[in-house]
Amino acid sequence: MKSKDISSQGLSNLAWALAVAGVRPSGAWLSEFWHELEEQLEHLNAKDVAHVFWSICRLEIMPPWVSDGSMPAMIGHAMECVGSAETGQDPATVLVCLAIWHRSFSYHAPAAEVTRMLSDMQPRLRNYMPQDLVSIVHSLVVMNFTPGRAWMTDFYMVLRNRLVSEPTLSYSDFQRLLWALSRIDYVPSRAWLAQFVEISSGKLSHLRNSALSEIVWALACWQYTPGKEWLREYFRVTMPKLAEFKPTHLANTILALKKLNCKVPTLWLDSALCSFCDQLHDARAHDLVTFVDGIVDVCEDAAWMSRPATGQRLCSLADFAASKFEICDCVMHAKLLVALATAKCCPGTGWLAQHQASLTKSLASASSMDDEDLDLDSATAMELRNAYASMDVPLSPSLEQELMLRSL
């Protein structure tokens, strides 16, 4: 049967059936399908649009509005249709597809159309199922689209109700939600955060390692320090899992705990340090420096920090960091050395000479680019000078000059 013999609903059903069956049509068939779809555009309802979009994604087909910008009316009509849908399934499906095209083909949906769609959805958010709410905000983050504050306020209000009523979020949806919310520049109310922390406590033991890192990072982004009971449960749940945490998760978790000014149990820190050392070759330079800087900062047990085993592990981190000096900027160099000095861990004269040479080079590079974010401020420059002095290491003349200029 040719596509021109089928209604608008039939077109969407046909696309859906092909996707379910895993049958990828020929180029000629698709050309006719796109043409007929455009002809019947005004007759497509929200469900039809969602079926077509989902089917195209399932078959990994690049539609015309993504490949060459043709059929622009399709995107406008799609967003207008699903934005006014009473339930969240169709809007969520369309946004998920837009996010997939963004990630796979660098497609950017028209910002004005996305904004209009969200505006149409806003009064209906309370009707949406939990999984649809999560898919919507998750997709927006993937698309690098930040909703307005009024929209986010309503979203958090609806989400708060979903967290305490049935049907509530599944553990999988909760994990995706953490990933998304930690990346949106919006801080919910303190009342919302208090309730969120209370509810999340019972979910901790069911979360994946990445989500356990995400949840404490989200709290740090929101500048909300949970109570002692929540932290006690968090450390209890994560302690036996630290060996399976990836270096980036360890680094982000330590940084979050640092931002929250949390008191971290010594045994937990020791396990985290051992885990990071066991995975050194999988660690990125930024994660390594972040981890060393953070673990020294959150440690309140001087006896643990002065143990030979702790010093040996910190030195192994420092030695591995030396292999990545070429890709470290001057801020990373400074954080690493100051942290080692704070821990009273001296890597040795050869390491320090290599560090000075690399730091001098990165300082000169920062000066030439005239970028304050990549350079050292006066306080950090002074900390760095003091760190070298505590290790009884003379500065090279060139580094002395660079630091002197920044200490003024």
- Looking at the chain, the whole-number percentage of residues with pLDDT higher than 90 is 77
> What was the pLDDT predicted at 3?
46
| Nearest in space to 276 (alpha carbons), one of 303, 252, 299, 308 | 252
For residues 337 and 168, which has the higher predicted lDDT (pLDDT)? 337
Residue pair 58/28 in contact (Cβ under 8 Å)? The answer is no
- Cα Rg of the chain (Å, integer): 27
What's the rounded mean pLDDT across residues 375-389? 89
What's the rounded mean pLDDT across residues 52-58? 96
What's the rounded mean pLDDT across residues 125-143? 96
What's the rounded mean pLDDT across residues 127-140? 95
pLDDT tens by residue, 79-133: 999 999 999 999 999 999 999 999 999 999 999 999 999 999 999 999 999 999 9
pLDDT tens by residue, 188-209: 999 999 999 999 999 999 999 9
| Nearest in space to 315 (alpha carbons), one of 282, 350, 286 | 350
Burial per residue of 244-279, b for 16 or more beta-carbon CB atoms within 10 angstroms, e otherwise: ebbbbbbbbbbbbbbbbebebbeebbbbbbebbbeb
| Cβ contacts of 326-330, under 8 Å, gap ≥ 24 | 326/358, 327/285, 328/285, 328/289, 328/358, 328/362, 329/362, 329/366, 329/374, 330/359, 330/362, 330/363, 330/365, 330/366, 330/374, 330/375, 330/376
Residue 286 confidence (pLDDT) above 70: yes
> What was the pLDDT predicted at 301?
94
What's the rounded mean pLDDT across residues 50-73? 92
Residue 45 confidence (pLDDT) above 50: yes
pLDDT tens by residue, 227-272: 999 999 999 999 999 999 999 999 999 999 999 999 899 999 999 9
Residue 19 confidence (pLDDT) above 70: yes
pLDDT tens by residue, 352-379: 999 999 999 988 888 777 666 667 888 9
First to last CA, the chain: 80
